[in-house]
Structure 1
Amino acid sequence: MLSQELGKERVLGAAEQIKHLLSKDDEHDRTLMKKGLILYRQGSIFMIKTTSDSVSARVQDVTSVEVKLDLDDFTMSTCTCPSDSICRHILATFLYVYATVDRVGTFVDRWKDDKKQPDILAHVRKASSLLRPEPEFNNKSLQSWLNFFDEEYELWREQISSPNNLVQSLYHHYYMKLKKKAPTSPEMKQFYNTQAATTVFIKMLQLINETKPSDYMLQHVYYPFIDQLIDAVSMAIREMKRYALPFALDPLLDESVERFRELLTCSTHYQYERLTLYRLLWTELLRRDKFILREREWLEEQQADELDRDLPKTVEYETALMHMDFLQSRDDDVFKRLSALPATAYPFMFEWVEDIVKKKNYQRLSRWVTHLIDSAPDYLQSPVSFNEKRSSIRYLINLLKENTDFTKKDAVFEELCAALLPYSYSEYDDYLLTKQQYRKWVELQTLLGFSIFELDRFVLKEAEKAEPGSLLPLYHQAVETEISMRTRENYKVAVRYLKRLKAIYKKLKNEPAWENYLHHLTEEHRRLRAFREELKKGKLIHA
């Protein structure tokens, strides 16, 4: 039984944690509890598995999700649904477990009537926290938000009982606390959420600096949270853009110029992700000349200081300056700076290209695509893995391919596809077929060494119908290949291809060319008796 495997005390301990994490006075928490109860009563929990301190299960909701309960630290419980905090699926699974030790109604009644009398120590603050005055929270003050973020971080650090699962606790517990304090006005709320996610991102990097996790931890444990935080910022900004931003936001944006600089200096880890977030914030929120000039001046001061101290240029400062150039459409300066970076930095341009695409500035886009073409050979010869190159180039080609206005007006797109071969083969192949450019499509297949039997028969029929002459090189090549194999079976295949060639030449009304080709072919291979026999059987020759 579950109660025997987990222990009643552990289950009741988790129940106490829930009473502190969810408030009966909060409408959101009450709704959450109600939905969890409904799922539990509908019998939606199945495939239960337990360990000494955890429970995993599947919950059938609109879609099936996987839940894992951590009974020792309930904030560490996870669910595969989109929620980043305690959700109805987690609660439904817990209620299923609780039912093995007591009535579920008893738990709900205690939660509703809880006056927190059993947990006296929950109200006791550490002496260190008593020395700090409670900050006054102002919904329209960035400094007030930052003070609150720092205060909550210190409290979170004091309450950590184990060094294990630090990053999970930071994300699920600390971040959740910050989000609950968001202002109610939609546009201010999203700007607050942007600042909160950015703060957690920076705190996570500071945590990495302190704890020095292994490469495995950085890749498999920290990175998913880093990635989610960037997505959270992107989503908050997208929501914010739905509203006309109030003038009250201007001073907060002004203060944010200095705030976002921390992304450049807070760590040496996750350089690409830090710069991605920095560029996102500047592109979407701070794209004003007065902010850009201020930031440029600061960045140039940092570089001048490095020069005075004979230090190498910091990549973060150089990239940030490139971004300031980009925001002011100083593309020649961007290209000049890019030329000093290693070839592996090629994909770093894609975010700028995406911004230009969004703004439908086709003249500027053509210049950037030309630069991408010129830079492609060095990137294709760089030591980056095949899969990484393929992934990057697929993203770039699809970004431009979807922008049909550009692909219709500018042949530079096709030139880019050709420059990025073989990594752009799939997209270029599809593009040429969509445009019904069959001659170029055949050239592409020949260039990459595809033989005619490897190609789709339907596509070959369509090509022959639309532009029959386009297939001649493929069939000529196929005939030579089959003859070179020197077996009767291959000669038979060669004859089938020759018959197709004869039909195509006839369709083109160019029978003399066919007769001339067949004469030269038979003369060249006149010593191959079996081949001549197959030609006779196929009624291509008579003697």
Structure 2
Amino acid sequence: MEHFATWLINTYPLSSNNNRQLLQHGLRLFRQGNVIDAYVEETSIIGKIQDNGIKHVLIDTEITDLSRCSCGLNDLCAHQLASFLTIWSQTKTIASLIDSWKETSDSTPLSMENPKKSTTYVEDSLTSWLQFLENQHEQFKQAIPTKNTYLTGLTHAFFPKIRLVAPKKTEIRPLFLLHASFFCMKKVVACYDNSQPYQYIADILHRFVDIVEEEAKGLFHSAIAFQLDSLLNESRQLIRSELLEQEEPFIREWFYVYQFTWNDVFQRRNWMTTELKELENYRSLQAELAKTHLLFLQKRDEEALKLVKEYEDVYAPYLFHWIQALVLHKANNRLENWLSVSLPIMTKYIHSEPTYERKRQLTKHLLKLLSDFSLHMKQDAIFLEALRTLLPYSYGEYEWHLFERKEFRKWVELQLWMGFELNGLETYKLNQIKKADPYALFPLYHTAIHKALEQRNKTAYKEAASLLNVLHSLYKKEKLEDVWLQYLFQLKERTKRLRSFQEELKKGRYSYD
């Protein structure tokens, strides 16, 4: 509660007449018993106030911008204040709070209230935007009671608040929000150290990367507007500079920003030739990735793929976006060339990922792209090769593909290769194979019988005898009775010391002699 009290006193100084009226209204509601209910739940205060109807209050004491009241006010209201005063009075006196409030207000110069520089910006000036964002960020940091809430607040409080004050002009607003997202990304990365898990930071970064992508698409048509020329040129240089200066482990996120802005914004101004010349002065992974993307956009695939071959494994994570772009644009001839170089690199990369979940995620994504390509090209050689080389992570897609194509013998081979047991397979699929190609199931039943016998117990022997009955029916369907008898004779010879199993054979529905 002390953190929220400090924020309240600093944010709403009593030197302001409006804030004094707010305090008076809140005190009146509190003292007259209008607070029906107020309680603490983790870091929140939840209240119910009688004031011209019931008002429902939620105060987040750590991320104050998430607080709200059903009265509809965006700022702190008297209902929220009355709820806080109720909770405060349970452990401390209201008089002590108001005394501290008055003392702090008396020592705060009036000029510090709503400083003009933090609430305004020049609508067509990137420098002004960035200064405005920095000032707003400083205010946000001061309002956050603990460092633990900073990153959550940046996502759920700071950026939504910036969105509300973004320019209204449709041709400028997306660029402003793009820079606001990029600004937040830099603040997030600045928090990364050994105490913060990489994946936590990366997940937050990707939320802002998604916003950059969305706003870049919103700029697609307005990027050719003459009045944006200066803003876009400054933006181009800033984004390139930030990419080139970024270090691992977040180069990927910065490169995504570079990709998205060049896909939909900067190339509309025909700056690619100039950009490539400026990148020639740099020799780093970041610069080479940027060059490759610009060559890709210019359809200079031979030069781009030369860089892919040179860097191979290092480029692996970035190849997915280029392949996806070609699939989306149905650029099948180009895609074939890119896949011939990229697919082995991507496959190797997937197998090297540390967790099964990540391997499966990337496999699923890649196979979806290759499936779309196969449908357009009406040939599936590349898709099938990927299904095979990405096993076991491609099992779901490969199994479905084989079954739908009625390649039942290969389907059975796949189950055996994966080590799946007969009783774990879907019954309706087994029944369909029994009707269409009984011979395909022979290896599955032979293996299941062998594994049952290895368990050396009566339950397993009964299971083996039951499986033999099914297998016998399959041999009959294939008119292979002579082969069946030979198999049965050899089985009885091998198991003649297993008396319990021999008994099961004698009890069997069929004669085995």
TM-score by length of 2: 0.73
**Which amino acid in structure 2 is aligned with residue 276 of structure 1?**
Y
How much does 1:124 deviate? 1.1
Aligned residue for 1:55?
44
Aligned residue for 2:180?
196
Q: Where do residues 117-156 of structure 1 align in structure 2 (5 Å cutoff)? A: 124=111, 137-138=122-123, 141=124, 144-154=125-135, 156=137
SS at match of 2:282: helix
Deviates more, 1:326-335 or 1:11-20: 11-20
Q: Contact 1:369–1:416 at 8 Å: present in 2 too?
A: no
How much does 1:420 deviate? 0.7
How much does 1:272 deviate? 1.9
Deviates more, 1:409-418 or 1:458-467: 458-467
Q: Where do residues 78-97 of structure 1 align in structure 2 (5 Å cutoff)? A: 95=79
**Which amino acid in structure 2 is aligned with residue 49 of structure 1?**
E
State which of 320, 330, 335 in structure 2 corresponds to 1:350: 320
State which of 162, 166, 176 in structure 2 corresponds to 1:182: 166
State which of 170, 177, 195 in structure 2 corresponds to 1:216: 195
Aligned residue for 1:328?
298
SS at match of 2:196: helix
Q: Does 1:364 align with 2:334?
A: yes
Q: Does 1:274 align with 2:274?
A: no
SS at match of 1:196: helix
Aligned residue for 2:99?
none
CA pair 91-183 structure 1, distance change in 2 beyond 3 A: closer
SS at match of 1:481: helix
Q: Does 1:98 align with 2:68?
A: no
Aligned residue for 2:226?
248
Distance 1:361 1:431 in 2: 24
Q: Contact 1:67–1:89 at 8 Å: present in 2 too?
A: no
**Which amino acid in structure 2 is aligned with residue 479 of structure 1?**
I
**Which amino acid in structure 1 is aligned with residue 64 of structure 2?**
F
**Which amino acid in structure 2 is aligned with residue 146 of structure 1?**
T
How much does 1:221 deviate? 6.5
Q: Does 1:16 align with 2:12?
A: yes
Distance 2:13 2:118 in 1: 27
CA pair 515-100 structure 1, distance change in 2 beyond 3 A: same
Aligned residue for 1:235?
214
Distance 1:240 1:222 in 2: 27
Deviates more, 1:214-223 or 1:418-427: 214-223
Q: Where do residues 300-315 of structure 1 align in structure 2 (5 Å cutoff)? A: 300-303=280-283, 314-315=284-285
Q: What's the CA shift string for 1:115-168, capped at 9, x where partnerless? A: xxx899575159xx99x9999724xx4xx1333322441575488548954656
SS at match of 1:185: coil
CA pair 49-217 structure 1, distance change in 2 beyond 3 A: same
Aligned residue for 2:466?
496
Q: Does 1:265 align with 2:235?
A: no
Aligned residue for 1:63?
none
Distance 2:304 2:47 in 1: 51
TM-score by length of 1: 0.70
Q: Does 1:465 align with 2:435?
A: yes
**Which amino acid in structure 2 is aligned with residue 124 of structure 1?**
S
How much does 1:474 deviate? 0.8
- Amino-acid identity (%): 24
Q: Contact 1:376–1:419 at 8 Å: present in 2 too?
A: no
Distance 1:121 1:386 in 2: 57
Gaps of 5+ in 2: 20-33, 49-56, 87-104
Q: Contact 2:178–2:216 at 8 Å: present in 1 too?
A: yes
Distance 1:156 1:356 in 2: 39
Distance 1:17 1:221 in 2: 37
Q: CA RMSD in A?
A: 4.6
CA pair 339-69 structure 1, distance change in 2 beyond 3 A: same
Q: What's the CA shift string for 1:472-503, capped at 9, x where partnerless? A: 22112212222333444333222222222222
